[in-house]
């Protein structure tokens, strides 16, 4: 999603040339290119698919809507398996229209996990719950903190359900370092993602993520935290940014790889 402007073949080509060894994919461009063709393209180039984004949106109250959401999540699990990634990122979904009940919405996410985790496990796919920044609590993700994500994950084996640590979403939270330690000790850090926090936020808040080093986040510290917690997996960069998407994708990927090395050391 960092270089949304690139086609899958362009992305794969640029990753290979830059020595980027893995890539997180999103479902929509994969579906547009064709699932099997995408799997063949990426794996044929020797790239690891680090994660698939995204399942989730599991907060509906209406039974028919819930059924559609669960079916869509099972499809996402299947797609992850075909792509050869063990990690499906879940964004829980926001409040249903007219509802003011965050706790109830989180309970419905828990119920959905009970149905999805046993489906995903035999397919070799872990469900990675991503807490989003609290500014998305109403319209996108009722899971706002790592503590909440861990509470949702805890009834399941860590091989089935874990969490995503995304610096953009958790950097402000002074309870997050302890949650990272607990998540790591339980083997539940399933993904580690980077984007910088920059202001002013754009209208809608979604597409204002900053390039690594442009904002307020101490990435070396967060890397130390997840590594001290035992995480040894890939580190993904996920910049949602309209301005960056409007520019040259290959140049952006090059710059991102350079900044990645700078900010993490």
Binding residues (CB under 8 A) for its own copies: these are: 95, 99-103, 106, 133-135, 137-139, 144-145, 147-148, 171-175, 197, 199-205, 215-218
Q: Between residues 121 and 264, which has the closer beta carbon with respect to its own copies?
A: 264
d(CA 168, CA 193): 8
- Work out how close the CB of 109 gets to its own copies at its nearest, in angstroms, rounded to a whole number: 13
- Work out how close the CB of 130 gets to its own copies at its nearest, in angstroms, rounded to a whole number: 16
Q: Between residues 103 and 232, which has the closer beta carbon with respect to its own copies?
A: 103
- Work out how close the CB of 262 gets to its own copies at its nearest, in angstroms, rounded to a whole number: 14
Q: Between residues 70 and 183, which has the closer beta carbon with respect to its own copies?
A: 183
- Work out how close the CB of 151 gets to its own copies at its nearest, in angstroms, rounded to a whole number: 9
Q: Between residues 79 and 147, which has the closer beta carbon with respect to its own copies?
A: 147
- Work out how close the CB of 228 gets to its own copies at its nearest, in angstroms, rounded to a whole number: 17
- Work out how close the CB of 224 gets to its own copies at its nearest, in angstroms, rounded to a whole number: 14
d(CA 144, CA 264): 25
Q: Between residues 122 and 200, which has the closer beta carbon with respect to its own copies?
A: 200
87 strand-pairing partners: 126
DSSP tally for the chain: helices H, then strands E: 11, 7
d(CA 100, CA 65): 18
The alpha-carbon radius of gyration of the chain (Å, integer) is 17
d(CA 166, CA 225): 12
Contact, 161 vs 126, CB < 8 A? yes
Contact, 144 vs 132, CB < 8 A? yes
Q: Between residues 174 and 246, which has the closer beta carbon with respect to its own copies?
A: 174
Strand order across the 22-26 sheet:
22-26, 48-56, 87-91, 126-129, 161-166, 189-194, 235-237
């Amino acid at each position: 999603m960092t270089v949304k402007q690139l086609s899958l073949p362009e992305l794969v080509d640029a990753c290979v040339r830059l020595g980027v060894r893995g890539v997180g994919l999103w479902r929509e461009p994969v579906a547009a290119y064709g699932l099997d063709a995408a799997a063949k393209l990426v794996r044929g180039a020797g790239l690891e698919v680090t994660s698939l984004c995204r399942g989730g949106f599991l907060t509906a109250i209406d039974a028919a809507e819930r059924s559609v959401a669960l079916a869509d999540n099972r499809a996402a699990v299947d797609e992850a398996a075909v792509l050869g990634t063990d990690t499906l990122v879940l964004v829980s979904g926001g409040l249903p229209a007219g509802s003011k009940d965050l706790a109830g919405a989180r309970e419905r996410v828990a119920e959905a996990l009970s149905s999805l985790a046993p489906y995903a496990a035999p397919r070799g796919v872990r469900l990675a719950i991503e807490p989003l920044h609290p500014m998305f609590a109403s319209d996108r993700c009722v899971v706002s903190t790592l503590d909440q994500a861990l509470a949702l994950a805890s009834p399941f084996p860590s091989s089935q359900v874990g969490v995503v640590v995304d610096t953009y979403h958790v950097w402000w939270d002074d309870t997050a370092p302890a949650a990272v330690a607990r998540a790591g000790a339980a083997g539940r850090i399933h993904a580690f993602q980077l984007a910088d926090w920059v202001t002013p936020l754009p209208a809608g808040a979604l597409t204002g993520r900053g390039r690594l080093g442009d904002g307020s986040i101490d990435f070396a510290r967060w890397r130390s935290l997840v590594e001290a917690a035992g995480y040894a997996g890939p580190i993904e960069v996920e910049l949602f940014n309209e301005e960056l998407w409007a520019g040259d994708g290959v140049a952006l990927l090059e710059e991102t790889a350079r900044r990645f090395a700078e900010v993490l050391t």
